[in-house]
Amino acid sequence: MKADALRGHLDPMILAVVEQEPLHGYAIMEALLERSGGELDLPTGTLYPALRRLERAGYLASEWSTVGGRKRRTYQLTSAGQKMLAAGRGDWETFRTVIEGVLKPRTT
Amino acid sequence: MKADALRGHLDPMILAVVEQEPLHGYAIMEALLERSGGELDLPTGTLYPALRRLERAGYLASEWSTVGGRKRRTYQLTSAGQKMLAAGRGDWETFRTVIEGVLKPRTT
DNA sequence: GACGACATGTAGAGACGCTACATGTAGGCG
DNA sequence: CGCCTACATGTAGCGTCTCTACATGTCGTC
Q: pLDDT tens for residues A29-81?
A: 999 999 999 999 999 999 999 999 999 999 999 999 999 999 999 999 999 99
What's this model's pTM, rounded to 2 decimal places?
Answer: 0.94
- The domain that contains A95 carries what CATH number? 1.10.10.10
List the single residue in B17, B96, B101 with the smallest CB-CB distance to A35: B101
3-class SS at B19? coil
Nucleotides of C under 7 A from a protein CB: 6-12, 15-22, 24-27
What integer is the mean pLDDT of A22-29? 98
The total number of structural domains in chain B stands at: 1
What integer is the mean pLDDT of A11-24? 98
The parent domain of residue A7 ranges over 3-103
* Residues B101 and A32: beta-carbon distance below 8 Å: no
B76 domain residue, yes or no: yes
pLDDT for the residue A108? 67
CA distance B10 to A101: 13
Counting residues of chain A whose pLDDT is more than 90, the rounded percentage is 94
Instruction: Flag residues of chain B having pLDDT under 50.
Output: none
Nucleotide C12's nearest residue (CA vs C1') is B45
* Residues B8 and A102: beta-carbon distance below 8 Å: no
